[in-house]
Every structure is written in C-alpha cells, then in structure tokens.
Amino acid sequence: MAKTVMIEAFGGPEVMQVVDRPVGEPGPGEIRIAHKACGLNFIDVYQRTGLYPLELPHPLGMEASGVIEAVGEGVTHLKAGDRAAYASMPPGAYAQARVMPAAQVCPLPDDISFDDGAAMMLKGLTVVYLFHRTTPLKRGDTVLFHAAAGGVGLIACQWARSEGITLIGTAGTDDKCQLALDHGASHCINYRTQDWVAQVKKLTDGKGVDVVMDAVGADTFDGSLNSLKPLGMMISFGNASGPVPPFSVGILGQKGSLKITRPTLFTHIADHHACQEMASQLFGKVRSGDVKIKIDQRFPLEDVAAAHQALEARKTTGSTILTV
C-alpha cells in the first residue's frame, strides 16, 4: 500500500484526498518506483479542475524521482536499485510508490539530488523542446518569456544565457523580475506596473522578438502576438490565466505573417529514445552548472492542497516539490 493523492470529482484543492492504495507488481514494459519527492506543475491544476479531463476517480501528479524497486519484462534501460526520475503520462506521481510505464522513466545521475530530479523533469524537458525542438533558435535571437520567475521560467532564463539567446522576461513583482535577472534574463518587465508590449518594442528598437514562449494563456495572448517581429513564432504552451479564446487565423497574416504552435511535452517525449535523449541534454546542462534548479517551496504530501493554493495564487517562485 502507498499513500496516494486521488480525486473523485473535479474542483478546487479540497477535492484532493490522500488515501492508501495498492501498488502491485510491474507488468511487461512497466516499473515499480518508490518515490523520494514529487514535482508540482500547473498541469496538475488543469487536471484537478477538469480543464484537462481525466477518467474519475484518478490519481494526480506528473513528475517524481525515486528508486526503482522492480522492473517488468522487456525493460532494459532500468533495473531494481537504480535512481530514476520522470515526467510522464498517466498521472499518478503524487504517491509514495507506483507502478507505471517504463519508457519515459529516466536513469538519474548520481550527482543530481532526488529533490532536483523531482523538480526538474517536466519543467526542464519543457525548456528542451521550447529551445531545441519547436522552432530554430540561434545565438543572438531574442525570446519573450512570460512567468520568467516560475519553475519553467528560471530554467529558461539560464538556458538562454548558456546559449547566447537574449531573453526578455515578464513577472508580476519587482522581486520576481530581479529573480529572473539573477538567473540569466537579459531584461525583465513587471507586467503589473509597466506596459509590457511597449517595453518589448522599446527593448528591440521597435522590431519585436523572434519567438514568444507563453504559458500564461488568455491574459497575454494578444500582447504576445503584438510583441513579435514579422515572421515571428508564437509558442503557446500553457493556460495559467485560462485557455486562449478562439481567434481568426487571418490575424496572423495581418500582424506580419506570424507563425503559431500549441505544443505539449508529452508529444515530444512519447518516443522512448527521444525522451531519453532530451533527458540526457537536460542532465548535461544541470551537471555542467549552466542550469541550477531552484526549489523555493516544499510541502509534505499530506499538504498537497496548500501547495496547489500557493501555486494558483502565484505565490510561488522557482519549483515546488512534495516530500514523501
């Protein structure tokens, strides 16, 4: 049995229940993992509220780290006793232990802590696909990144600095802006006190940016399009303020033959070999010191509701983990 966070209905943080749940043995292509820490992400909120519907009842959580306890038939890249970390479907990472598909579970290098492993997989692999698998980016390009002081944002700031990319961040307080600057953002705009679209244009001599990376959604969508240079790429990869409403595709032509994409991490890591390659790239950045994982909040698994409340209220910076 393992303590596991379950929902039986969609709703607020109060719908999450910590229950004892049988773990079982891994079948073909599966592993059983005992978790050391679990990561917290906005996708967990989307699933809890029903924005991304799950078949109920269902456990929550998309990333964690721990030790492999058993492997099923056909699993060759992991063995019992291995340290491991993952970001993976199906949800169920908010647990002391679980059985799950092995393909997206990655061996965790010995010199990366379990806490960092739990905090970095979903966010770090997201940065990998944003910078390397979505649209070509090269040294000297300029990126606008919303929520630059969040878990994904602070990794993105460091990643951009390590590759010679100018990152203009936005954040909701001066302290958060300073945090983004400290982690490698070239500029950071307080969107509550400044006209961030005008500031982006000013910082780019009126040209706009090459790429926008926007996980905020509804509140920033129009401004993000207006911040792009002609032929620029809009990457909409989240809905923290709510989903982007329908829009006329013709507006992309009017604003300069813009491009837009709505990727998900789980498409990029669906292939086992691609997932392991992306993880290796992420681990390399962390082990080199180019990227440091900043964990600013830790909650016991039993306090998962408080963790969700803090995330939704935008009271968190960096990454948040649940300890088990």
Distance CA 323, CA 298 (A): 7
Orientation of helix 151-162 relative to helix 174-182, angle to 10°:
40
Statement to judge: residues 45 and 158 lie in one domain: no
Given 246, 262, 278, the domain boundary residue is: 262
Q: What is residue 243's predicted lDDT score, i.e. its pLDDT?
A: 85
SS3 category, 171: strand
Are 113 and 25 part of one and the same domain? yes
Q: What is the pTM of this model?
A: 0.94
130: in domain:
no
Q: Are residues 214 and 236 in the same domain?
A: yes
- pLDDT at residue 224 greater than cutoff 90: yes
Give domain status of residue 128, yes or no. no
Rounded to an integer, the average pLDDT of 249-276 is 97
Number of H helices, E strands in the chain: 10, 16
Asked if residue 248 and residue 224 are part of one domain, the reply reads yes
| Predicted pLDDT at 320 | 96
Q: Are residues 37 and 109 in the same domain?
A: yes
> If you average pLDDT over residues 154-167, what whole number do you get?
98
Domain of residue 226, CATH code = 3.40.50.720
Q: What is the pLDDT of residues 101-129, one digit of tens each?
A: 999 999 999 999 999 999 999 999 999 99
| Distance from C-alpha of 229 to C-alpha of 150, rounded to nearest angstrom | 25
Q: Which of 60, 64, 63, 69 is nearest to 18 (CA)?
A: 60
What is the residue range of 17's domain? 2-123+266-323
Per the structure, the count of domains in the chain is 2
- Does some domain include residue 129? no
Residue 38 lies inside a defined structural domain of this protein:
yes
pLDDT of residue 241: 84
- Shared domain for 254 and 275, answered yes or no, is no
Q: What is the CATH number of the domain that holds 40?
A: 3.90.180.10
Percent with pLDDT over 90 in the chain? 95
Residue 311 lies in a domain: yes
d(CA 260, CA 235) in angstroms, rounded, equals 6
The CA distance from 51 to 47, in Å, is: 6
Q: Domain boundary residue among 262, 289, 315?
A: 262
Contact 87, 122 (CB under 8 A): yes
What confidence tens digit (pLDDT) does each residue in 273-297 have?
999 999 999 999 999 999 999 999 9
Residue 100 lies in a domain: yes
Give a yes or no: residue 167 inside a domain.
yes
Query: Within a domain: residue 255?
Result: yes
